[in-house]
Structure 1
Amino acid sequence: MPWFVKIERGIVEKKTFDQYVPAHKAYVKHLIAKGHKAKTGYWGELGGGMLLFEANSLEEAKKIVIQDPLIENKCVEYEIHEWRIVVE
């Protein structure tokens, strides 16, 4: 399966953002259980993060991303890209 990355930048106050973090983490655990090998994290400097995961296609990856509670609740702006690994 191809890998995809959602790169995001927070667009709401931290207090608002933080209330959706538990749901985001639960969603990522759900993706892991479904075999998407998802990993999530944030940048050392404030303001953004990344979700890395496998999906069958860009279309499936887009469907996965829009169901993320951080997206559903308009906490972040994001880009999605297919990540092509050249060395493992």
Structure 2
Amino acid sequence: MPWFVKIEEGKVDKPTFDQYVPAHKAYIQDLIAKGHKARTGYWAEQRGGMLLFEAASKEEAEAIVADDPLVKHGCVNYQLYEWRIVME
């Protein structure tokens, strides 16, 4: 399956953002359980983060991102890219 990367930047204040973090973590756990090999994290130096995951197609990747609680609640701006691995 292809890999996809969602690069995101926070656009709400920290208290608003933080209230959706538990739902985001649960969502990522569900993606892992469904076999998407999801990984998520945030940048140490600035606001924002990244979600890395596998999906069958760009359309599925877009649907996955749309269901992320951080996206659904307007907490982040993001870009979605297909990542082509050259070496493992």
Q: In structure 2, what is the Cα distance between the partners aligned to 1:44 and 1:58?
A: 28
Letter in 2 for 1:31: L
Letter in 2 for 1:43: W
Q: In the TM superposition, what are the counterparts of 1:1-88 in structure 2 within 5 Å?
A: 1-88=1-88
Q: In structure 2, what is the Cα distance between the partners aligned to 1:30 and 1:45?
A: 28
Alpha-carbon distance, 1:58 to partner? 0.3
Alpha-carbon distance, 1:11 to partner? 0.1
Q: Tell me, what secondary structure is at the counterpart of 2:59?
A: helix
Letter in 1 for 2:43: W
Q: Tell me, what secondary structure is at the counterpart of 1:32?
A: helix
| Structure 1 spans left out of the alignment, 5+ residues | none
% identical aligned pairs: 70
Pairwise CA RMSD of aligned residues? 0.4
Q: In structure 2, what is the Cα distance between the partners aligned to 1:70 and 1:58?
A: 19
* Matched residue count: 88
Alpha-carbon distance, 1:46 to partner? 2.6
Letter in 2 for 1:69: P
Q: In structure 2, what is the Cα distance between the partners aligned to 1:52 and 1:64?
A: 11
* TM-score, structure 2 normalization: 0.99
Q: In structure 2, what is the Cα distance between the partners aligned to 1:75 and 1:44?
A: 18
Q: In structure 2, what is the Cα distance between the partners aligned to 1:15 and 1:74?
A: 13
